Amino acid sequence: MSEDYYMVERILTAFLTYVLVVLRCGCLILFAPFFSSEMFFTQAKIALGITFPLLLVPFAARSAMTPDYMDMQQLILLAGQEFVLGMAICFLATLIFTGVQMAGEIAGQQIGFSMANVLDPQSGIEMPMLGLINMNLTLMLFLVAKLHLVLIFILAKSYDWVPIGALLPEVNFNHPVLEMSAVQAAGLMKLGGQLAIPVMMIMLMNSIVEGFVTKTMPQMNIQVLGMPLRVVLGLSVLIFVYPAVCMMLVPHDWVFNLQDMPEGPLGDMLIEMSDMVKAMGDATPGR
């Protein structure tokens, strides 16, 4: 009878661990770049959401710090912490894509594409055309550089840095998450401005020239020639800028390595994300 009891207890413990792993890893298909995309098949999302936690259960159970007895309140708190931790990891990975999208929206407004919105297959919402192009370009670089594997590695490694139940005695993830979110938001604005500056400068020079021509030759209808000229100049600048943008986001000489992140915004994003998880683990009492 006692053996059956311990067997049932172990099964329930393993099932609870699996559910908690699903809550943290399930955020990968809800918030992470590419995995949360509408282009990612629903069947593949379901399969990934079921099988990936199964692979991580032995590692998560090895380092789990759950108490022997938990009431319903502690269980709900533990489940909420696991979901918030997974959401924070995956959400920070999307901020860099938002910055690149913002740069495309600024450039599109300067060129005159602000009224041309298209459906984004990744998020399922409408966005400006250049914003969609920048978003898909960044996503392509993210996949080509195999950074989605690095994201999965960081999520799996988080069970060593912040085991299940480690944050249960005291909520310690507020400060690292808020601080890292502020840093990422500042980097988002900086990156968006850097990517949009070339187009903004050319459009500013074009506006100055248009104003000079209007004052010197008022009989010329500059409005007829101004819009096509802005489009041609803007697209010409983008042709020369996009290779430099790709080089800035991910260096071409980087070789895939789980230990060394590439230089550039995408690599810095993953480094800051892993540092955030480590900071939460270091701030946990008793570790």
Amino acid at 255: V
Span 206-219, average pLDDT: 79
pLDDT of residue 83 exceeding 70: yes
7 pLDDT above the threshold of 80: no
Of the chain, the percentage scoring pLDDT greater than 70 comes to 76
Per-residue confidence (pLDDT) for residue 179, from 0 to 100 = 67
Instruction: Please give the model's pTM, rounded to 2 decimal places.
Output: 0.79
**pLDDT tens track for 133-146:** 888 888 888 888 88
Residue 12, class by beta-carbon neighbours within 10 Å (0-12 exposed, 13-18 middle, 19+ buried)? exposed
At residue 29, the pLDDT reads 84
pLDDT over threshold 80, residue 287? no
Which of 174, 178, 147, 175 lies closest to 270, judged by CA?
147
For residue 42, the model assigns a pLDDT of 81
Query: Residue 49 is encoded by which pair of tokens?
Result: 């959401």
